[in-house]
């Protein structure tokens, strides 16, 4: 791959060809998603039905949001284990605040998520503690706070205002959570691809020391990224509370790892420096779709795959992706 | 810069003997002995304020509760010493815990002899756990996948595998000879506490006395130097993940034996976090090259004692989580600060 | 003058590394900066770029007195630094790397079109036509360096500092880099060029500043100084071909050959190295930095894969895939960089010392403490390692004592061949003499030693013969009676003038 004076491939074909192995892997994820959809559409009745699509999207909206926040954190070379617990805490906070009105409920949930993100950012950049340990601790703290706030049980949301509309209503034919995902991912894409800060986030993931040499504000950017991850977890929490009519202090366990898996499947390198918003969405949907396909397959009654196969198949997807990534990285390393 | 000409009197003097100011000295002291200090003051607090704290029952209860965490945390300490991490321990516990009753309940194949059944139930799950560990190590050394991602695969898939074994059903049983590992007593001491003690001693011995222990620390401390000294770094890592898997397997079987039942959905959940927390509080930096085995035990004890203390004084379990979080941050921060002096 | 640094002093924890050093660069000039390791070149550069603060002295840049406290300040003032590898983001595209932190915007959004166009325009100035949307890592080292230079140019740099820019480039790439430097020169941009390859200095530089031991000892137009003079003033030797020690007559060609390496190749750094080490002799391996000495040693030891060539040990052809294979044949390597490849900092002196012999100390998997202790005590005493106890962490020892422990790590395995890479680097004079004496004694007892060293005096004092590398090739083998500093310098300075023919004949 070493070419000192490569002729720029500006042919039409070149424009649409993936520019790197990782881009190829990302394209692979999108193709796999499309293939699975096609498979489902051909095999099952009602698979591409409006009801199924909407409920699938709605159900997976929370995971998609958390994965988006996680993707940004991972692009900087960090990790955020606290997202699941932060979402649970946010759902409880939203449920409690919802008695003061729907705006209060939303605000309460988002602030809870932001607070967790703020603590993460401060501990990581201020105390210089590794993101893994720092967010492990905030995960415990958020989990504990959620249980304390909720008194160890789920907290009903107010039903006398339109807080529950977030989870129930449609807008222009799409459930509101799906709109939120659309906006969040559009914002994420805009930030990453079209704003200078997006390029800087990736540059930090490429190497913090280098980024500093290039004159970037590393600490400030990292703080922002953890705040964003907290905000996404908070949003997921609000949706959780609204759509399940309750704040769920014990939900969210393991979300962080599912989110990491989605991000990795989406071709974002865990070492940082490379990432894609769109492929993260594809990764999250792909992992979610596995579950739906299993349900439909069981519905056909030929075989009976219990839902416990879902994590197994998710794990296999993750395995396939990371091994593929490692092999691609290997060929890159070996090429002169 | 020949520092050590002056050194016999000062065993821990730096290359240039520096005078630490009072603040630095305090920091260094807290970095080293902070966890011990917290442990001692917690003990003291309980002895004074908690009713019935000084009792054999309290001791055995706490030890039984902490035993599985310590067993898993021993493996985690070794893994972290090589510069890795093992997120899959909880799922491996579930796998081993699901397999064991299936074997002696003859759910897999009918086993003619009852004794043989129990014997197999005590060994085959460990083999499966070892296989899981080997798989982790294989991904990490063969494909150079970061440990956190490599072990994430089994973290996600492992529990599912355990559930498919049991069809997601709760497996209850009554098999005293198997349950001995979770409910038995030897000279009044619970068997799992004895198991814990054995595992701790073995790990301590491994790190301190064996060639493998030395190689683990060398690989985690400077992999390049280790390789140039003829150490098979990949082999060492693979072995360590196998050990971590086996220890998780043991813990999983103990949990199942205590409960008279195996619930693949619940055995070992969040164990990876408890174990990592114990290691971190116990003073083993996550960057590798060190293995403070007894520190990890102390870390696990402190986290357990925090919980007991708060519970005994009417503070809910949930609040203990928040305290735990603060403790982890404080411990790691102190240690890394003390490191930089 | 564009840049004039005068009377710069700098010391680290009491050790003085720059003593009244000075450096001048005229507008549009390409200035070479040379000196051995530890001469103070990189400290000088770091002070200029704001990575370090000077203790005293003055820096004038572009007519104003400056004192940068951070790299960003120097960048803003018009000083761009191109490091070997570290200063760009490999996964980002070429265009992004050029503009990171100063991206062109439109309504707050990245103006990608303008960024792309401007990046292409800047690169075109260096006759470089790249797909600026490709990640930087897709390109060769030379192109990456050019991109770094382009980044500097877009920051309106008046001075570009290149720190050993050619060390990982092949000839063709070096040519492109030189064209770039000439383009800069034509635009009135000055270059400060650090390199150890003398021929390059003559090819592209106008003047040269020579540093030694923290001082600036000379500044000459390139056209007025010969290679040998250059090497001499860099190493600081008077050219008196003084007699070294009396060589042992018995030692010589009648000893059996232990190691024979022939025509080794690996990447761009080793391009035809042949050498021999006989039993019980110290073979020297000389060459300027970047000549391929360390790489050759690693090939022989099985630490890096080789592309071609043969290595025979006691007449048997070897194909070591890992260091452990070489160790089994009784070969040890004390590497050049103690910190990165030598010590395991957290482990004690004892544990570090017995790392390589561990397999032999194992009894049923357990380390035999008594034997271990005996070995450690013996070698601490024999080598005079100064430590408070064998249990002291090795990171607390001085460089010389760490080196002794690392030597002991191999000596206790009773090796047949010990490869030592710069065994006395960063060690005080007393310890240096001790280590050389020790190597000599060991050789007299039958150990074969392959010693890599930059210090000619050291080679002359210790080696029975010296293989000289230049530019990845062995260019000469000098027997003991041919060894003189002048001869060594001449061979080291000569680059690609005589083919590698001469070396193989010897």
Structure confidence at residue C242 as a pLDDT band (50, 70, 90): very low
Classify residue A249 as exposed, middle or buried by CB count within 10 Å of its CB (0-12, 13-18, 19+).
Answer: buried
Position B36 scores a pLDDT of 85
Taking the CA atoms of chain B, what radius of gyration do you get in angstroms? 21
User: Whose CA is closest to C211, among C223, C194, C190, C197?
Assistant: C194
CATH assignment of C3-235? 3.40.50.300
Alpha carbons A211 and A203: distance in angstroms, whole number: 6
Classify residue C430 as exposed, middle or buried by CB count within 10 Å of its CB (0-12, 13-18, 19+).
Answer: exposed
Class for domain C255-330+419-427+444-506, per CATH? alpha beta
Identify the top-confidence range among A221-235, A253-267, B282-296, C316-330.
A221-235
Position B238 scores a pLDDT of 95
Residues belonging to chain C: 506
- For C31-64, what is each residue's pLDDT tens digit? 999 887 667 888 898 899 888 889 999 999 988 9
User: Whose CA is closest to A299, among A2, A18, A52, A29?
Assistant: A52
C447 three-state secondary structure: coil
Q: In the beta sheet, which residues pair with residue C417?
A: C331, C448
Instruction: Tell me the CB-side half-sphere exposure of residue C26, using CA atoms within 13 A.
Output: 7
Alpha carbons C387 and C2: distance in angstroms, whole number: 50
Which residue in chain A has the smallest CA separation from B322?
A141
**167-196 of A, contacting C, C-beta below 8 A:** 190, 193-196
Higher pLDDT, C429 or A69: A69
Identify the top-confidence range among B28-37, B40-49, B120-129, B162-171.
B120-129
Say whether pLDDT at B17 is over 70: no
Which residue in chain B has the smallest CA separation from A331?
B143
Structure tokens at C111: 């103006």
CATH assignment of A21-334? 1.10.3470
Identify the top-confidence range among B68-82, C13-27, C50-64, C400-414.
B68-82
**Structural domains of chain B in order of their starting residue, each with its CATH number:** 34-340 (1.10.3470)
CB of B93 within 8 A of CB of B263? no
Say whether pLDDT at C373 is over 90: yes
Which residue in chain C has the smallest CA separation from A8?
C131
C-alpha to C-alpha distances, C341 to A172, A175, B286, nearest whole angstrom: 63, 58, 21
Does C255-330+419-427+444-506 match C3-235 at the fold level? yes
The phi-psi region of residue B188 (left if phi > 0; otherwise alpha if psi is between -120 and 50; otherwise beta) is left
User: Whose CA is closest to B232, among C415, C324, C122?
Assistant: C324
Residue carrying structure tokens 């920051």: C155
Alpha carbons A132 and A75: distance in angstroms, whole number: 14
B224: chain C residues, CB-CB within 8 Å: 340-341
- For A169-201, what is each residue's pLDDT tens digit? 778 888 889 999 999 999 999 999 889 899 999
Say whether pLDDT at C253 is over 80: no
In this complex, the chains that touch A, judged by 3 or more CB pairs closer than 8 A, are B, C
User: Whose CA is closest to A205, among A22, A330, A74?
Assistant: A74
Higher pLDDT, C74 or C168: C74
Alpha carbons C307 and C144: distance in angstroms, whole number: 25
| Adjacency order of strands within the sheet including C15-25 | C15-25, C3-12, C56-61, C64-65
Taking the CA atoms of chain C, what radius of gyration do you get in angstroms? 25
The minimum CA-CA distance between B219 and chain C, rounded to whole Å, is 9
Instruction: Tell me the CB-side half-sphere exposure of residue A222, using CA atoms within 13 A.
Output: 28
CB of A82 within 8 A of CB of A140? no
Which H or E element spans position C174? helix C171-186
CB of C376 within 8 A of CB of C390? yes
C303: chain B residues, CB-CB within 8 Å: 227-228
Higher pLDDT, C270 or B109: C270
The minimum CA-CA distance between C347 and chain B, rounded to whole Å, is 8
The phi-psi region of residue A17 (left if phi > 0; otherwise alpha if psi is between -120 and 50; otherwise beta) is beta
Q: How many CB atoms lie within 10 A of CB A137?
A: 30
B267: chain A residues, CB-CB within 8 Å: none
Kindly tell me the sign of the dihedral angle through the C-alpha atoms of A156, A162, A165, A167: negative
CB of C137 within 8 A of CB of A251? no
Beta-strand (E) ranges in C107-184?
109-110, 159-163
Position A13 scores a pLDDT of 41
CB spacing of B221 vs C346 below 8 angstroms: yes
Cα-flanking dihedrals φ and ψ of residue C278, to 5°? -90, 165
First to last CA, chain B: 18
Structure confidence at residue C237 as a pLDDT band (50, 70, 90): low
CB of C51 within 8 A of CB of C32? no
- For C62-99, what is each residue's pLDDT tens digit? 889 998 887 778 888 889 888 765 578 888 889 988 88
Q: What is the mean pLDDT of residues A124-145?
A: 91
Angle at C216 between CA C215 and CA C219, to 5 degrees: 165
Q: What is the mean pLDDT of residues A115-121?
A: 97
Q: Which of B12, B209, B229 sits opposite C356 (nearest CB)?
A: B229
Q: Does A8 contact chain C (CB < 8 Å)? A: yes
C138: chain A residues, CB-CB within 8 Å: 1, 20
C175 three-state secondary structure: helix
Say whether pLDDT at B228 is over 90: yes
DSSP string for B96-146: HHHHHHHHHTTSSS--S-HHHHHHHHHHHHHHHHHHHHHHHHHHHHHS---
Say whether pLDDT at B116 is over 90: no
Position C226 scores a pLDDT of 85
Q: How many CB atoms lie within 10 A of CB C267?
A: 16
Alpha carbons C333 and C417: distance in angstroms, whole number: 9
Position B14 scores a pLDDT of 37
Say whether pLDDT at B278 is over 90: yes
- For B182-219, what is each residue's pLDDT tens digit? 888 888 889 899 999 999 999 999 999 999 999 999 99
Position A71 scores a pLDDT of 95
Alpha carbons C189 and C200: distance in angstroms, whole number: 19
Q: In the beta sheet, which residues pair with residue C211?
A: C216
Q: How many CB atoms lie within 10 A of CB B140?
A: 25
Alpha carbons C424 and C436: distance in angstroms, whole number: 8
Torsion of CA B5, B8, B14, B20, to 10 degrees: -120
Give buried/exposed letters for A296-335 (b at 16+ CB in 10 A, else e).
Answer: bbeeeeeeebeebbbbbbbbbbbbebbbbbbebbeeeeee
In this complex, the chains that touch B, judged by 3 or more CB pairs closer than 8 A, are A, C
Percent of chain B with pLDDT over 70: 93
Angle at A252 between CA A246 and CA A256, to 5 degrees: 155
Position A11 scores a pLDDT of 40
Position A325 scores a pLDDT of 73
CB of A124 within 8 A of CB of A105? no
Say whether pLDDT at C486 is over 90: no
CB of C207 within 8 A of CB of C220? yes
Which H or E element spans position A232? helix A218-244
Q: Which of A20, A203, A209 sits opposite C100 (nearest CB)?
A: A203
CB spacing of B157 vs A311 below 8 angstroms: yes
Structure confidence at residue A322 as a pLDDT band (50, 70, 90): confident
Q: How many CB atoms lie within 10 A of CB C223?
A: 8
Structure tokens at C445: 């007892």
- CA A195 to chain CA centroid, Å, is 20
In this complex, the chains that touch C, judged by 3 or more CB pairs closer than 8 A, are A, B
Alpha carbons A231 and A222: distance in angstroms, whole number: 14
- CA C421 to chain CA centroid, Å, is 11
Q: What is the pTM of this model?
A: 0.81
List the domain boundaries for chain C: 3-235, 255-330+419-427+444-506, 336-414
Say whether pLDDT at B340 is over 70: no
CB spacing of A199 vs C71 below 8 angstroms: no
Position A3 scores a pLDDT of 38
The mean of the pLDDT values for chain A is 83
CB of B141 within 8 A of CB of B234? yes
User: Which three-class secondary structure string do you get for C46-92?
Assistant: HHHHCCCCCCEEEEEECCEECCCCCHHHHHHHCEEEECCCCCCCCCC
Classify residue C344 as exposed, middle or buried by CB count within 10 Å of its CB (0-12, 13-18, 19+).
Answer: buried
Q: Which of B209, B221, B225 sits opposite C341 (nearest CB)?
A: B225
- For B51-98, what is each residue's pLDDT tens digit? 777 888 888 888 888 999 999 999 999 999 999 999 999 999 999 999
The mean of the pLDDT values for chain B is 85
List the domain boundaries for chain A: 21-334
């Amino acid at each position: 791959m070493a070419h000192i004076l490569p002729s720029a491939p500006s042919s039409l074909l070149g424009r649409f060809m993936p520019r790197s192995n990782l881009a190829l892997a990302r394209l692979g994820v999108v193709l796999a998603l499309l293939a699975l959809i096609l498979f489902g559409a051909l095999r099952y009745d009602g698979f591409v039905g409006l009801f199924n699509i909407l409920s699938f999207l709605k159900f997976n909206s929370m995971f998609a949001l958390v994965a988006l926040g996680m993707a940004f954190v991972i692009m900087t070379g960090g990790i955020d284990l606290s997202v699941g617990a932060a979402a649970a805490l946010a759902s409880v906070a939203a449920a409690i605040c919802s008695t003061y009105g729907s705006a209060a409920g939303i605000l309460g949930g988002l602030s809870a998520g932001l607070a967790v993100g703020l603590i993460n950012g401060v501990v990581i950049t201020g105390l210089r503690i590794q993101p893994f340990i720092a967010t492990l601790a905030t995960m415990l703290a958020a989990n504990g706070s959620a249980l304390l706030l909720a008194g160890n049980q789920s907290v009903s949301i107010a039903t006398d205002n339109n807080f529950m509309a977030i989870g129930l209503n449609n807008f222009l034919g799409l459930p509101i959570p799906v709109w939120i995902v659309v906006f969040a991912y559009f914002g994420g894409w805009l930030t990453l691809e079209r704003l200078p800060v997006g390029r800087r986030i990736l540059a930090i993931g490429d190497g913090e020391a280098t980024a500093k040499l290039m004159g970037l504000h590393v600490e400030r950017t990292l703080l922002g990224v953890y705040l964003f991850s907290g905000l996404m977890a908070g949003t997921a929490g609000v949706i959780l509370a609204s759509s399940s009519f309750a704040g769920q202090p014990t939900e969210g366990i393991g979300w962080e790892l599912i989110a990491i898996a989605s991000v990795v499947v989406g071709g974002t390198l865990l070492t940082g420096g490379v990432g894609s918003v769109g492929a993260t969405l594809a990764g999250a949907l792909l992992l979610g779709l596995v579950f739906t396909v299993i349900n439909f397959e069981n519905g056909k009654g030929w075989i009976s795959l219990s839902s416990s196969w879902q994590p197994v198949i998710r794990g296999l997807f993750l395995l396939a992706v990371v091994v593929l990534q490692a092999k691609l990285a290997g060929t890159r390393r070996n090429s002169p | 810069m020949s520092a050590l000409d002056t050194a016999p009197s000062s065993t821990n003097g730096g290359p240039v003997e520096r005078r630490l100011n009072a603040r630095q000295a305090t920091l260094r002291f807290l970095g080293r002995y902070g966890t011990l200090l917290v442990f001692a003051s917690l003990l003291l607090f309980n002895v004074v304020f908690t009713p019935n704290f000084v009792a054999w029952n309290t001791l055995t209860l706490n030890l039984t509760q902490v035993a599985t965490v310590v067993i898993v945390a021993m493996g985690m300490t070794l893994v972290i010493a090589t510069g890795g991490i093992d997120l899959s321990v909880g799922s491996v516990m579930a796998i081993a815990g699901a397999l064991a009753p299936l074997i002696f309940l003859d759910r897999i194949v009918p086993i003619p002899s009852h004794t043989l059944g129990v014997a197999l139930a005590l060994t085959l799950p460990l083999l499966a756990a070892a296989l899981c560990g080997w798989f982790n190590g294989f991904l990490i050394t063969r494909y150079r996948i970061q440990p956190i991602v490599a072990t994430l695969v089994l973290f996600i898939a492992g529990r599912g595998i355990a559930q498919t074994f049991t069809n997601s059903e709760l497996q209850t049983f009554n098999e005293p000879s198997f349950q001995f590992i979770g409910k038995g007593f030897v000279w009044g001491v619970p068997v799992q506490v004895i198991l814990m003690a054995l595992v701790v001693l073995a790990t301590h011995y491994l790190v301190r006395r064996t060639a493998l222990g030395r190689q683990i620390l060398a690989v985690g401390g400077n992999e390049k130097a280790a390789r140039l000294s003829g150490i098979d770094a990949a082999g060492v890592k693979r072995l360590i993940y196998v050990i971590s898997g086996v220890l998780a397997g043991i813990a999983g079987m103990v949990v199942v034996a205590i409960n008279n039942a195996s619930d693949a959905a619940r055995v070992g959940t969040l164990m990876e976090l408890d174990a990592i927390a114990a290691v971190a509080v116990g003073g083993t930096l996550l960057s590798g090259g060190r293995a403070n085995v007894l520190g990890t035990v102390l870390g696990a004890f402190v986290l357990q004692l925090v919980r007991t203390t708060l519970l005994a004084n009417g503070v809910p379990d949930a609040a203990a989580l928040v305290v735990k979080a603060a403790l982890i941050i404080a411990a790691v921060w102190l240690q890394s600060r003390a490191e930089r002096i | 003058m564009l840049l004039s640094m005068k009377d710069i002093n700098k010391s680290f924890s009491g050790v003085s590394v720059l003593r009244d050093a000075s450096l001048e660069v005229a507008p549009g000039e390409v200035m070479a900066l040379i000196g051995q390791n530890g001469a103070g070149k990189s400290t000088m550069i770091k002070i200029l770029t704001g990575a370090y603060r000077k203790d005293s002295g003055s820096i004038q840049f572009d007519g104003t007195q400056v004192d940068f406290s951070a790299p960003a300040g120097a960048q803003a003032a018009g000083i761009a630094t191109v490091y070997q590898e570290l200063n760009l983001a490999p996964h980002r595209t070429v265009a992004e790397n050029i503009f990171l932190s100063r991206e062109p915007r439109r309504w707050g959004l990245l103006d990608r079109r303008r960024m792309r166009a401007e990046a292409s325009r800047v690169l075109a100035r260096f006759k470089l036509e790249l797909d600026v949307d490709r990640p930087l890592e897709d390109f060769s080292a030379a192109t990456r360096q050019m991109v770094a230079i382009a980044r500097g140019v877009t920051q309106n740099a008046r001075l570009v500092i290149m720190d050993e820019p050619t060390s990982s480039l092949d000839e063709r790439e070096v040519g492109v880099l030189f064209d770039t430097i000439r383009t800069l020169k034509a635009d009135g941009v000055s270059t400060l060029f650090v390199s150890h390859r003398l021929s390059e200095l003559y090819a592209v530089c106008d003047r040269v500043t020579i540093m030694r031991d923290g001082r600036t000892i000379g500044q000459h137009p390139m056209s007025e100084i010969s290679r040998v003079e250059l090497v001499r003033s860099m190493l600081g030797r008077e050219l008196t071909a003084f007699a070294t020690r009396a060589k042992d007559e018995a030692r010589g060609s009648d000893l059996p050959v232990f190691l024979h390496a022939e025509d080794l190749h690996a990447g761009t750094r080793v391009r035809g190295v042949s050498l021999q080490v006989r039993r019980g002799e110290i073979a020297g391996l000389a060459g300027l930095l970047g000549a391929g000495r360390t790489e050759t040693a690693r090939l022989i030891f099985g630490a890096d894969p080789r592309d071609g060539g043969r290595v025979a040990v006691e007449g048997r052809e070897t194909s070591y895939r890992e260091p452990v294979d070489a160790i089994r044949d009784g070969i040890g390597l004390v590497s050049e960089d103690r910190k990165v490849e030598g010590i395991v900092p957290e482990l004690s002196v004892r544990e570090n010392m017995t790392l390589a012999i561990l397999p032999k100390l194992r009894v049923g998997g357990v380390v035999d403490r008594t034997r271990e202790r005996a070995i450690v005590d013996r070698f601490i005493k024999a080598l005079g390692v100064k430590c408070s106890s064998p249990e002291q962490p090795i990171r607390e020892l001085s460089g010389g004592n760490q080196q002794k422990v690392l030597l002991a790590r191999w000596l206790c395995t009773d090796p047949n061949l010990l490869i030592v890479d710069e065994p006395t680097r960063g060690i005080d004079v007393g310890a240096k003499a001790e280590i050389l004496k020790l190597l000599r004694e060991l050789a007299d007892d039958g150990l074969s030693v392959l010693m890599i060293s930059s210090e000619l005096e050291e080679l002359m004092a210790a080696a029975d013969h010296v293989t000289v590398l230049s530019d990845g090739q062995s260019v000469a083998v000098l027997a003991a009676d041919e060894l003189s500093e002048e001869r060594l310098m001449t061979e080291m300075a000569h680059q690609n003038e005589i083919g590698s023919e001469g070396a193989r004949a010897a």
